[in-house]
Amino acid sequence: MTDKKKPTSVNAEGIFEPFSVENVPWENWSENTRYGSRSRYLSGFGGASHVGVAMEELAPGMESTLNHYHMLEEEQALILAGEMTLKLGEKTYLVKTGDYVCFPAGQKAGHSFYNHSDAPCRFLIIGEKNPHDVIVYPETGRVSVRLTGEGYDKSATMDYWQGADTNKKK
């Protein structure tokens, strides 16, 4: 198996230089016919490790992600071209070119985008890359713990002492 290194803007001296967004390759992903987009991972190409910035393009009829919110990580989005629907908590909003939205850490309102239009919508998504983040998915009940790389069912909550032997050992 060949480990193919992703291209970056690093020069021969190890310095990450300015680059054209057009030099960053598009990456496509999808989960069946409902979810998927293509993106250019700009911050990774430029060598960043603390803040993530990606240019995403959401095709007509597609959703960007499962509706979710972050406990420790903040996200922000700038709509560059087109329009789409933002689902934020129980409300929906039309967002279009020039609109900006913040998703503060700990705001317990799930967010996701859906392209209701007949043209692609392009946007920047900006976020911290907090290795300790906990992500909650209100529609599915999933809770993801980034530190452990594991996911849990939110309905399977436990009392603090549940499962512990609370009797003195003799």
pLDDT digits (tens, 9 = 90+) for 92-137: 999 999 999 999 999 999 999 999 999 999 999 999 999 999 999 9
Domains, the chain, ordered by start: 22-131 (2.60.120.10)
Q: Is the pLDDT of residue 2 over 60?
A: no
Give the residue among 126, 1, 138 at the shortest CA–CA distance from 67: 138
Report residue 21: phi and psi, to 5°. -55, -35
For residue 150, the model assigns a pLDDT of 87
Confidence at residue 160, expressed as pLDDT on a 0 to 100 scale: 76
Calculated CA dihedral for residues 76, 106, 137, 91, nearest 10 degrees: -70
Q: Check pLDDT > 90 for residue 6.
A: no
In sequence order, which residues have a C-beta less than 8 Å from that of residue 18 and are 6 or more positions away?
9
Say what the pTM is: 0.88
Question: Given pLDDT bands bounded at 50, 70 and 90, which one contains residue 166?
Answer: confident
pLDDT of 169 higher than 80: no
Neighbours of 20 (CB within 10 A): 7
pLDDT for 1: 44
Q: What pLDDT is recorded for position 113?
A: 98
Mean pLDDT of the chain: 93
Of residues 155 and 72, the one with the higher pLDDT is: 72
Q: What is the pLDDT of residues 141-163, one digit of tens each?
A: 999 999 898 888 888 887 877 87
Per residue in 10-65, pLDDT (tens digit) is 999 999 999 999 999 999 999 999 999 999 999 999 999 999 999 999 999 999 99
Q: Residue 4 has what pLDDT?
A: 65
> Please, are residues 118 and 127 in contact by the beta-carbon 8 Å criterion?
no
